[in-house]
C-alpha cells in the first residue's frame, strides 16, 4: 500500500540504484522505499538533484516542498500519464460557458457549507447563533449570478464559521480574523497548515485522473497555481481539516507550546507539525461505508471519487452532485 512520507530534518535526498536515501546533517542514512511512496513532504532544508527527480517521476511520486515556517512553497509533479484531450476540452468548455461554470462553483460551495454546518451543529448549544447567520447567507446562493457574488457570500459564511470556533474550542485559542500571509495567531497557523496539507492531497488525487488541475470554476484560473485543487479543497477542508483542528485542540494534542512566534508570524514548531500530521493521516485513512458503492471508502479516496464525478459531468454522462457527508 502506498503511503505518504514526511521529512522534517535538514539534509540530502539521494538516489542510489533504484531507491532513495535520506542523509541528515550528521550523515545518518535512512532508506525510503520509493515503490511504497505516494507523496513525499519536505519540511526541512533538503538538497536533491535531477537523478532523484527522475526516479520520483518514474514511480509517480509527488514531492511537496514547505519552507522553514511550514508554509507551502510548491510541488514537483511527475509527467501526467493519465491524459485525455477530450476530457480537458470538455472541462475547459464548462469554464468558458458562464452558466455551466456558475453551476459547478455553486455545487462546490453547497458542499462546503454543508460540511461547515455539520461541524458546528455538533456543538449546537454553543454555536446556534452562527448556524442561523450561515443559514441566512446560504439563502442567497441560488440568486447569485456571478462567481464574484458567490465568493462574497462564501467569505461572509466562512467568517461566521470561524467565529464559532471561539465557542467550540476548549483551550484559549481564539479567532478574530483570518490572517494567512503570515498567520498572526496559533489558530490561524493551524488552519493554514491544515489547508496546505489538504491542497497538496487534493492535487495528488487530481493527478491520478485526466482532469487538468489548472482549469477551475470557483477560483479564477491564473498562472503558477493549480486552482482546481483550491476548488475541490473547499469541499474537504471542513470535512477533513477542521475536524482534525477541533479534535487536536479539544483533546489537548496541540497546545500553545507547539507554536513559535517570530516578529508576529506564528507557525507550528516541529513537534506541533508531527503531532498534527499524525492526526491528519489517521483521518485520511478512516473508512466509511459508501451508500452507492456498498464498500468502505477512505476519506482520501472520497477526493478521487469527487474527481471522477466531475469527469462524468464534463463528458455528459452524469450531472455533478457534490459530496455531502451523510455519516
Cβ-contact 23, 16 below 8 angstroms: no
- Residue keyed to cell 467550540: 168
What is the rounded CA–CA span in Å between residue 305 and residue 308? 5
> Is 154 annotated among the ligand-binding residues?
yes
What is the rounded CA–CA span in Å between residue 79 and residue 58? 9
> Is 219 annotated among the ligand-binding residues?
yes
What is the rounded CA–CA span in Å between residue 46 and residue 327? 41
What is the rounded CA–CA span in Å between residue 108 and residue 94? 14
Longest dimension (CA), the chain: 61
Total Cβ atoms within 10 A of residue 92: 15
What are the Cα distances from residue 324, in Å, to 86, 179, 216, 233, 320?
A: 28, 28, 20, 14, 12
Cβ-contact 259, 265 below 8 angstroms: no
What is the rounded CA–CA span in Å between residue 232 and residue 221? 13
Cell of 99: 452558466
Long-range contacts of 88-91 (CB under 8 A, 24+ apart): 88/210, 88/211, 88/212, 88/215, 90/314, 90/315, 90/316, 91/211, 91/212, 91/215, 91/310, 91/314
> Is 110 annotated among the ligand-binding residues?
no
Total Cβ atoms within 10 A of residue 215: 19
What is the rounded CA–CA span in Å between residue 178 and residue 192? 10
Say if strands 19-24 and 29-32 run parallel, antiparallel, or are unpaired. Answer: antiparallel
Cell of 290: 459508501
| Annotated binding-site ranges | 154, 219, 234
| Annotated binding-site ranges for Mn(2+) | 154, 219, 234
Amino acid at each position: 500500500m502506498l503511503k505518504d512520507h514526511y521529512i522534517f530534518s535538514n539534509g540530502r535526498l539521494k538516489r542510489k540504484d533504484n531507491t532513495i536515501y535520506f542523509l541528515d546533517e550528521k550523515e545518518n542514512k535512512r532508506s525510503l522505499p520509493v515503490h511504497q511512496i505516494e507523496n513525499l513532504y519536505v519540511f526541512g532544508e533538503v538538497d536533491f538533484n535531477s537523478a532523484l527527480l527522475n526516479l520520483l517521476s518514474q514511480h509517480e511520486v509527488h514531492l511537496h516542498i514547505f519552507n522553514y515556517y511550514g508554509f507551502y512553497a510548491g510541488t514537483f509533479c511527475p509527467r501526467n500519464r493519465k491524459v485525455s484531450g477530450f476530457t480537458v476540452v470538455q472541462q475547459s468548455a464548462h469554464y468558458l460557458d458562464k452558466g455551466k461554470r456558475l453551476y459547478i462553483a455553486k455545487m462546490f460551495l453547497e458542499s462546503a457549507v454543508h460540511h461547515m454546518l455539520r461541524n458546528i451543529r455538533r456543538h449546537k448549544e454553543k454555536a446556534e447563533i452562527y448556524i442561523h447567520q450561515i443559514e441566512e447567507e446560504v439563502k442567497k446562493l441560488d440568486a447569485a449570478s456571478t462567481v464574484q457574488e458567490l465568493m462574497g457570500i462564501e467569505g461572509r459564511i466562512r467568517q461566521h464559521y470561524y467565529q464559532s470556533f471561539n465557542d467550540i474550542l476548549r483551550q484559549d485559542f481564539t479567532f478574530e480574523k483570518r490572517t494567512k500571509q503570515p498567520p498572526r495567531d496559533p489558530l490561524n497557523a493551524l488552519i493554514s497548515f491544515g489547508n496546505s496539507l489538504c491542497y497538496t492531497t487534493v492535487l495528488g488525487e487530481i493527478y491520478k485522473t485526466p482532469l487538468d488541475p489548472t482549469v477551475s470554476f470557483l477560483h479564477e484560473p491564473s498562472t503558477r497555481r493549480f486552482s482546481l485543487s483550491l476548488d475541490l479543497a473547499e469541499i474537504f477542508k471542513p470535512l477533513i481539516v477542521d475536524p482534525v483542528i477541533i479534535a487536536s485542540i479539544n483533546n489537548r494534542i496541540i497546545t500553545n507550546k507547539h507554536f513559535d512566534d517570530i516578529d508576529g508570524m506564528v507557525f507550528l514548531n516541529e513537534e506541533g507539525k508531527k503531532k498534527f500530521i499524525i492526526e491528519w493521516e489517521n483521518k485520511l485513512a478512516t473508512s466509511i461505508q459508501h451508500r452507492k458503492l456498498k464498500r468502505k471508502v477512505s476519506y482520501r479516496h472520497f477526493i478521487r471519487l469527487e474527481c471522477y464525478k466531475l469527469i462524468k459531468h464534463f463528458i455528459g454522462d452524469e450531472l455533478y452532485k457534490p459530496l455531502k457527508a451523510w455519516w
